[in-house]
Amino acid sequence: MYYLPEQNLHIVLGNLQESYNVYIPEKKNNTLYYTLFSSKHNSYSIDEVRACEPLKAFFFKAREKVAENYKPAASHMNTKPLCIVGAKACDLKGFKVQDYVFLTDEFSDPFYRSMREENLIISADCSTALDTCFCMALGLKPYPEKDYDLNLSMLEKGCLVEIGSEKGETVVKNNKALFQEVTQAHKQQKIKIRDRVQKHVQLNIKNHKIPKESSLKNRIKKNYKGAFWKPEAETCVECGACNTICPTCHCFLLYDQGDAKKMARLRVWDSCMIKDFARVAGGANPRPELWMRLRNRFEKKFDFFPEVLGINACTGCGRCITACPAKIDIRKVLGRLTGNA
Amino acid sequence: MHNILNPYAVIKTKVVQVITETPTIKTLCLRPEIPFSFKTGQFIELTVPGIGEAPFTPSSDPARHDEIEVTIMRVGRVTEKIHQLKKNDAVGIRGPFGSGYPLELFKGNEVVVVGGGCGFAPVRSLMYSLFAISSELKKLVFRGGCKNPHEFLYKQELIGWTKQKGLDVRLTVDKVEKKGDWNYDVGLVTTILDDLKVDKSKAFAIICGPPIMMKFCTKKFLELKFKEKNLYLSMEKNMSCGIGKCGHCRIGRYYACKDGPVFRYDTIKNNEDIWE
């Protein structure tokens, strides 16, 4: 572990620009959004909480050309790889799901793969929590424990840097003079902040009566009927905001454009809440009712992924709670599923 | 720029023949620019340039590598355009996807194949593969059903099978409007499953057809005491990417595109919506 004074961190980020497109969270109207870093930048917020947009957007783009004419290979613009600064523990869990979908088994996705293999992830501890944060109910801590190249614990005038990979180690080596030794006071400051944020998230969990992760097992199978799901879906307007904002949602639509001479295949984010999502050309639809689609969303996250990957595909980031115009609250649905509410 | 294999890219393919099978069904004979092979039961994605793509299980003999045939019912946006294709038009194909039928498992056993309606397409390819290993099968039985003689897919070919030595075949239609149109059975396909002369505790049954037909055939086979693990179904879902990523064709813990579309009944029976 190293200590990196604030002005030195700025220099390191500047140096990283040579090999990476460095993205950093910046506050606009009280919300954090990722923006391209430049040395002139001085208003970024590496700590605080997760940004508004899910990190999947950098790797599995909302809209991307994935094939052209009859070209057999995937072509990629030769842009610099990505460096994401300030990714939070919940964001890293999102990668777990996306990586499983796009990188495992015989057909890995060449677009996602090249972006992920080359990226540099500099994560950071949360220094506060939103009212909608509940990561600790899903087995996470509000600070990254693994799956990063470097992790930053922001302190008053600098940060503690933890190395998580060889790639991260190289960054430290290349900027060795900028890094300093860690003092006991630094360590205590870090522990103090981490404790404070954990208490905040735990209070959220208590206030919103969010069930423990262990109690979620098989709950959807036990509450499979419309009697449970119809009231939950009553206010849903089928906008798909919960899907687009979710760091683990990965469904997409292949969409063709052009004509016989020049054609392009686009991959765009899709939403399982939309009526035609699973409909087949003949007209049969396994989920014609909205409540069935809401149930399917929960099944996918809390049945399917635990079964195939061993984790719930929810990070407790709370983005869907804020995004939903119908005020469907995943915390409350989980509470009712487990009989907690 | 660097190049990597792209699972979303298509192989340029020429339409070499268009056969009108019934008023709503056509068969396209396709010649891909590069050799293309598939296992029976696997499917391909067929692209109409600029319009979109749709999944089809080839109806031709997998032993042929120069050409593949797909038999397509006109039911939606893409299939409407497919029906307008003419000889020498260019299309794109991707695949093959999915797991296909477990032919090795059938060897040494009695096999009952049931097709219905447009489900004859994948089943024809399967039958060609089974004919090729017929000396290794204990018995091969075929049962086919359709709404009426008019819409009976591959009618002449299937009638030909009824005369094939060593093959137990019965064909039925739900209804006959004119006498003399049909010299075979009349009634739902489940009505021609009663006389199966196979050891029901060991025989395999493969069912492919519209969901309602598969539902009732499965029920029938279970009543006949076929084992759940010996029933194979072709699930029609919205397969799009073909590689288990886009999420559209999920059945419980499986994706029809990657883990199916042929499923052993016992592996999917607990999912409520399999017949939809």
Q: What is the pLDDT of residues A142-177, one digit of tens each?
A: 999 999 999 999 999 999 999 999 999 999 999 999
pLDDT tens track, chain A, 341 positions = 999 999 999 999 999 999 999 999 999 999 999 999 998 877 889 999 999 999 999 999 999 999 998 887 766 666 899 999 999 999 999 999 999 999 987 788 999 998 999 999 999 999 999 999 999 999 999 999 999 999 999 999 999 999 999 999 999 999 999 999 999 999 999 999 999 999 999 999 999 999 999 999 989 989 999 999 999 999 999 999 999 999 999 999 999 998 878 899 999 999 999 999 999 888 888 999 999 999 999 999 999 999 999 999 999 999 999 999 999 999 999 999 998 65
Contact A110 B250 (CB under 8 A): no
- Closest in A67, A74, A304 to B253, CB measured: A304
Q: How confident is the model at residue B5 (pLDDT cuts 50, 70, 90)?
A: confident
Q: pLDDT tens digits for B141-157?
A: 999 999 999 889 999 99
Report whether the peptide linkage leading into residue B96 is cis, meaning its omega lies within 30 degrees of zero: yes
Q: Does A286 touch chain B (CB under 8 A)?
A: yes
Contact A252 B79 (CB under 8 A): no
Chain A residues whose CB is inside 8 A of the B79 CB are: 281
- To test the contact with chain A by mutation, choose from B80, B273, B274, B275 the residue with the greatest count of A C-beta atoms within 10 A, namely B273
Q: What is the ipTM of this complex?
A: 0.92
Tokens 């489900």 — which residue? Answer: B119
CA dihedral in degrees (B115, B117, B118, B123; nearest 10)? Answer: 10
Q: Does A265 touch chain B (CB under 8 A)?
A: yes
- Residue A8: count of CB within 10 angstroms of its CB: 18
Kindly state whether residues B69 and B150 are assigned to the same domain. Answer: no
Q: Return the CATH number at B42.
A: 2.40.30.10
Q: Return the CATH number at B146.
A: 3.40.50.80
Percentage of chain B lying above the pLDDT 70 cut: 99
CA B9 and chain centroid, separation: 24
Kindly state whether residues B80 and B113 are assigned to the same domain. Answer: no
Kindly state whether residues B148 and B215 are assigned to the same domain. Answer: yes
Q: Which residues contact A219 (CB under 8 A, 6 or more apart)?
A: A302, A337, A338
Cα A90 from Cα A79, distance rounded (Å): 27
Chain A residues whose CB is inside 8 A of the B214 CB are: none
The minimum CA-CA distance between A316 and chain B, rounded to whole Å, is 22
Cα B165 from Cα B162, distance rounded (Å): 8
Of residues A247 and B165, which shows the higher confidence score?
A: A247
Kindly state whether residues B111 and B183 are assigned to the same domain. Answer: yes
Of A84, A199, A185, A95, residue with least CA distance to A141: A199
- Closest in B11, B49, B76 to A263, CB measured: B49
Kindly state whether residues B91 and B134 are assigned to the same domain. Answer: no
Chain B residues whose CB is inside 8 A of the A303 CB are: 253
Q: Does A66 touch chain B (CB under 8 A)?
A: yes
Is there a domain that residue B186 lies in? yes
User: Is the CB of residue B233 less than 8 Å from the CB of residue B239?
Assistant: no
Is there a domain that residue B267 lies in? no
Q: pLDDT tens digits for B72-88?
A: 999 988 999 999 999 99
Q: Which residues contact A7 (CB under 8 A, 6 or more apart)?
A: none
Q: pLDDT tens digits for B100-130?
A: 999 999 999 999 999 998 899 999 999 999 9
Q: Does A50 touch chain B (CB under 8 A)?
A: no
Provide the pLDDT for residue A76.
65
A141-170 per-residue burial string, b: 16 or more CB within 10 A, e: under 16: ebbbeebbbbbbbbbeebbbbbbbeeebee
Is there a domain that residue B183 lies in? yes
CA-nearest residue to A251 within chain B is: B246
- Closest in A102, A256, A308 to B50, CB measured: A256
Kindly state whether residues B166 and B212 are assigned to the same domain. Answer: yes
Chain A residues whose CB is inside 8 A of the B11 CB are: 70, 72
Kindly state whether residues B81 and B111 are assigned to the same domain. Answer: no
- Closest in A105, A254, A259 to B240, CB measured: A254
Provide the pLDDT for residue B276.
72
Chain B residues whose CB is inside 8 A of the A257 CB are: 50
Kindly state whether residues B216 and B152 are assigned to the same domain. Answer: yes
Kindly state whether residues B91 and B108 are assigned to the same domain. Answer: no
User: Is the CB of residue A59 less than 8 Å from the CB of residue A66?
Assistant: no
Contact A278 B79 (CB under 8 A): no
Q: Does A33 touch chain B (CB under 8 A)?
A: no
Q: Does A285 touch chain B (CB under 8 A)?
A: yes
The minimum CA-CA distance between A228 and chain B, rounded to whole Å, is 16
Decide: helix, strand or coil at residue B15.
strand
Between helices B120-132 and B155-162, what is the axis angle to 10°? Answer: 40
Provide the pLDDT for residue B1.
33
Q: Is the pLDDT of residue B67 over 50?
A: yes
Boundary-marking domain end, from B97, B124, B155: B97
Residue-range definition of the domain harbouring residue B31: 11-97
Kindly state whether residues B63 and B155 are assigned to the same domain. Answer: no
Contact A72 B237 (CB under 8 A): no
Q: How many domains does chain B have?
A: 2
Boundary-marking domain end, from B66, B97, B128: B97
CA-nearest residue to B118 within chain A is: A282
**What's the mean pLDDT when you consider all of chain B?**
93
CA-nearest residue to A269 within chain B is: B246
Contact B78 A277 (CB under 8 A): no
CA A272 and chain centroid, separation: 18
Q: Does A37 touch chain B (CB under 8 A)?
A: no
Is there a domain that residue B259 lies in? no
Query: What number of C-beta contacts closer than 8 Å exist between A and B?
Result: 140
Contact B49 A258 (CB under 8 A): yes
Taking only Cα atoms into account, the Rg of chain B, rounded to an integer number of angstroms, comes to: 18
Kindly state whether residues B155 and B82 are assigned to the same domain. Answer: no
Q: Which residues contact A15 (CB under 8 A, 6 or more apart)?
A: A174, A175
Kindly state whether residues B119 and B89 are assigned to the same domain. Answer: no
Q: Is the pLDDT of residue B3 over 60?
A: no
Q: pLDDT tens digits for B232-272?
A: 999 989 999 999 999 999 999 999 999 989 999 999 998 87
Provide the pLDDT for residue A75.
66
Q: How confident is the model at residue B2 (pLDDT cuts 50, 70, 90)?
A: very low
Is there a domain that residue B79 lies in? yes
Q: Does A227 touch chain B (CB under 8 A)?
A: no
Parse chain A into domains and list their residue ranges: 2-207, 213-337
Chain A residues whose CB is inside 8 A of the B8 CB are: 66-67, 74, 254, 265, 267
